[in-house]
Amino acid sequence: MKFARCIFLMTSLALMIPHIQAVESSQELIDTICRETEDYEFCNEIIQKNANASTANLHDLTDHIIILSMKHASDTYTFIGNILRKRHESDEETAGLNTCLGVYNSESTIFVIVHEHFYLREYERMILAILSTTKILKDCKTDFPVPPNKENPLIEKNREMRILITMSTVSGYMLINGNHSLLSSVVTGLEVSQ
């Protein structure tokens, strides 16, 4: 009987150890990715909302991050479109919103292409596409009022998009390089300024 318990215990441990190691390495991957962003807490929180994040490998995390980026770009496009449909306060506001609408349309389209490159394992092309979104995002200026808001809501939307772009870039570079440590200079095209 003791022998059977011993075998059972050893088998249980053998089955649990890979899972425990996966959890630790997943959190290490998340930490590595999030440390490269301008807001570690936002990055970590948005990844942790995924039920599989605790056992995800780098490939799965990258997939999740790209999908989050696509969703955020699409949701922001819809958000801007709704503002434009409700009112037109000033020419400055309308012009700014239309520019940002075009920017987020491009961001959405490019992240669909990024996702395609990801699934085809064309990681270099994926990175080039992601990096192109940083230049496009800079065109969405937030220096115009959007009443009734005290602060232009696109300031936060752009900040979140910059973080998602950084997350996508970092995880993509990690896929290419096969390592889990990067220097912040890898994503030099991503500036924290608005």
- pTM (2 d.p.): 0.80
pLDDT per residue as tens digits for the range 158-182: 999 999 999 999 999 999 987 644 5
Residue 155 has pLDDT above 60, yes or no: yes
Looking at domain 59-194, which CATH architecture does it have?
Up-down Bundle (1.20)
Asked whether 58 and 177 are in contact (CB, 8 A), the reply is: no
Helices (H), the chain: 2-35, 40-48, 58-86, 91-119, 123-137, 154-177
Tokens for 31, please give them.
Answer: 């930490």
Q: How far apart are CA 173 and CA 22, in angstroms?
A: 21
- Domain extent listing, the chain: 59-194
